[in-house]
């Protein structure tokens, strides 16, 4: 059967034949192995198609039988050759375009970094650049796996790295290592981080200096790292005259009731300036002789306004030249009035916000209440919020000579 694609590649010719007994031509072509198709009778002649390769042989048959032949159309790739030759510029342009596109897409144009929290983005970029990934690098000059391995070696804080090359963009994904906190290895005390009342005490190592119910201030020793040897009383031994204390790294947990407070206020009547939306733009042309108004004639009639000006001045031999632009925006005073209830709500919200900034994240409040400090006749509502919570307040404090190892 007629294969459309191979016909297009080889090229074919549409013909119109005129003469008696076209069947004869068809049978002769058939006998000589010339492939013809789409044979249609039209008027006195027939339409048919023949391959370029068989056209010469077919023409011989036609001439032998004295038929009239008319070439209607030449189709297929070989016939485009002449068209291509005629439009050399277009072809070159198309080729150049494809080539440029290929060339441009084989460079890295963008480098993106994600996943880094504590490591500086520029450090990752510099390390990547040292191993071959930087904007403008040719893709054939580096191997993704090698760069990943080298970067992992160079950046010790990184646990995993992935360089994803997508077109002209390289996205570097990193996962940071979670390093343990610097631990105090030498002897130390546990001291109070803030004021509070001790609720619970658990000593793992060291000697407790406080008991449940004690009020402690910030900096007080809770569990001491200096341990005196205990002498069992019931053994009847005499206590040591000069007991030598031992040093240890105190460990334990001291839970204490602590307080936090936050403050917020809200005026019952507040005034603020807002832009009304009306504005006047003036544009001047500055010349050494005269200042010419280009735009925005008329006086500034706004009662309250904000003015900003932008100047571009060049000084020449005759004087100054340039443009001056002035933007004048009208402002109006907006008065906001709150009822006492609304003001209390706003002030409390502000107080809670300030409180949240002070409290460590994740701390649970066990009790909270708020006080209105201002009297009802005041024009401002002041509020203080108190929050009570229970938290571990013990922090290690090295005893002289002990060092913090990292």
Partner 1 sequence: MEKRREIISKAMADFLEIPGDLVLDIPKLTITGRTELHLENHKGIIEFSTERMRINLSRGFLEIIGDKLEIQALMPDEMKIAGEITGIKYID
From the CB of 75, what's the least distance to partner 1, in Å?
A: 17
The CB-of-12 to partner 1 minimum distance in angstroms stands at 13
Query: Shortest Cβ distance from residue 59 to partner 1 (Å)?
Result: 18
Q: How many CA atoms lie within 13 A of 100 on its CB side?
A: 6
SS (H, E, C) 228-272: CCCCCHHHCCCCCCCCCCEECECEEEEEEEEEEEEEEEEECEEEE
The pairing of beta strand 110-114 with beta strand 169-176:
parallel
Coil/strand/helix, residue 10: helix
Task: Tell me how far, at minimum, the Cβ of 43 lies from partner 1, in Å.
Answer: 10
Q: DSSP string spanning 68-98? A: EEEEEEEESGGGHHHHHHHTHHHHHHHHHHH
Closer to partner 1 by CB, 37 or 97: give it: 37
Check if the beta carbon of residue 108 is closer than 8 Å to that of residue 129.
no
The pair phi, psi for residue 104, each rounded to 5°, is: -65, -35
Residue for token pair 């020793």:
221
Spatial separation of the C-alpha atoms in residues 75 and 253, rounded to whole Å = 92
* Closer residue to partner 1 in complex, CB, 72/95: 72
d(CA 385, CA 351): 6
Closer CB to partner 1, 35 or 386, in the complex: 35
Q: For residues 36 and 256, which CB has a smaller minimum distance to partner 1 in the complex?
A: 36
Judge contact between 35 and 70, C-beta under 8 A: no
In the complex with partner 1, the residue whose CB is nearer, 34 or 172, is 34
Min CB(137)–partner 1 separation in Å:
57
What are the two backbone dihedrals, phi and then psi, of residue 234, each rounded to the nearest 5 degrees? -70, -5
Least distance from partner 1 to the Cβ atom of residue 40, Å? 4
Q: Which is nearer to partner 1, 36 or 344 (CB)?
A: 36
CB nearer to partner 1: give 30 or 104.
Answer: 30
Cα–Cα distance measured from residue 37 to residue 368, given in angstroms and rounded to the nearest whole number: 95
CB of 47 to partner 1, least distance (A): 9
What's the min distance (Å) between Cβ of 15 and partner 1? Answer: 14
| Cβ closest to partner 1, residue 22 vs residue 264 | 22
Nearer to partner 1, 23 or 234 (CB): 23
**Closest to 194 measured CA to CA, from 355, 392, 384:** 392
Residue 111 CB partners (closer than 8 Å, separation 6+): 125, 128, 133, 134, 135, 169, 170, 171, 172
Contacts to partner 1 by CB under 8 A: 1-2, 22-23, 26-27, 29-31, 33, 35-41, 46
Helix axes 52-64 and 22-31, enclosed angle (nearest 10) = 130
Q: Locate 136 and state its tokens.
A: 């403008």
Q: Which is nearer to partner 1, 18 or 153 (CB)?
A: 18
Shortest distance, CB of residue 170 to partner 1, whole angstroms?
Answer: 55
Quote the least distance from Cβ 36 to partner 1, whole Å. 6
């Amino acid at each position: 059967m007629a294969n459309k694609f191979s016909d297009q590649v080889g090229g074919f010719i549409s013909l119109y034949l005129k003469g008696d007994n076209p069947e004869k031509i068809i049978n002769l072509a058939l006998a000589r192995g010339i492939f013809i198709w789409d044979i249609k009778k039209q008027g006195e002649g027939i339409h048919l198609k023949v391959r370029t390769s068989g056209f010469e042989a077919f023409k011989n048959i036609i001439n032998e039988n004295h038929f009239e032949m008319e070439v209607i159309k030449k189709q297929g790739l070989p016939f485009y050759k002449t068209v291509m030759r005629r439009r050399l510029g277009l072809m070159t342009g198309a080729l150049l375009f494809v080539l440029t596109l290929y060339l441009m897409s084989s460079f890295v144009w963008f480098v993106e970094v994600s996943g880094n929290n504590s490591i500086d983005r520029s450090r990752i970029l510099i390390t990547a650049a040292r191993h071959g990934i930087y904007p403008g690098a040719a893709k054939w000059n580096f191997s993704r796996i090698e760069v990943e391995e080298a970067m992992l070696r160079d950046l010790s804080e990184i646990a995993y790295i992935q360089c994803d090359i997508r077109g002209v963009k390289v996205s570097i994904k990193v996962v940071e290592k979670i390093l343990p906190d610097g631990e105090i290895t030498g002897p130390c005390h546990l001291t109070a981080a803030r004021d509070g009342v001790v609720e619970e005490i658990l000593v793992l190592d060291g000697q407790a200096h406080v008991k449940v119910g004690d009020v402690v201030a910030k900096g007080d020793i809770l569990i001491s790292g200096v341990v005196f040897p205990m002498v069992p009383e019931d053994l009847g031994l005499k206590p040591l005259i000069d007991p030598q204390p031992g040093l240890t790294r105190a460990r334990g947990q001291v839970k204490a009731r602590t307080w936090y407070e936050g403050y917020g206020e809200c005026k019952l009547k507040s005034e603020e300036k807002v832009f009304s939306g009306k504005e006047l733009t003036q544009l001047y042309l500055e010349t050494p002789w005269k200042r010419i108004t280009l735009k925005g004639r008329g006086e500034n009639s706004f009662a309250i306004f904000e003015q900003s000006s932008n100047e571009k001045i060049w000084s020449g031999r005759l004087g100054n030249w340039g443009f001056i632009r002035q933007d004048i925006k009208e402002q109006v005073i907006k008065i906001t009035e709150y009822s006492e209830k609304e003001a209390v709500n706003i002030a409390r919200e502000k107080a809670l916000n300030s409180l949240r900034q002070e409290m460590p994240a994740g701390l649970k409040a066990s009790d909270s209440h708020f006080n209105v400090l201002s009297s009802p006749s005041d024009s401002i509502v002041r509020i203080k919020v108190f929050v009570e919570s229970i938290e571990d307040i013990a922090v290690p404090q090295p005893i002289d000579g002990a060092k913090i190892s990292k």
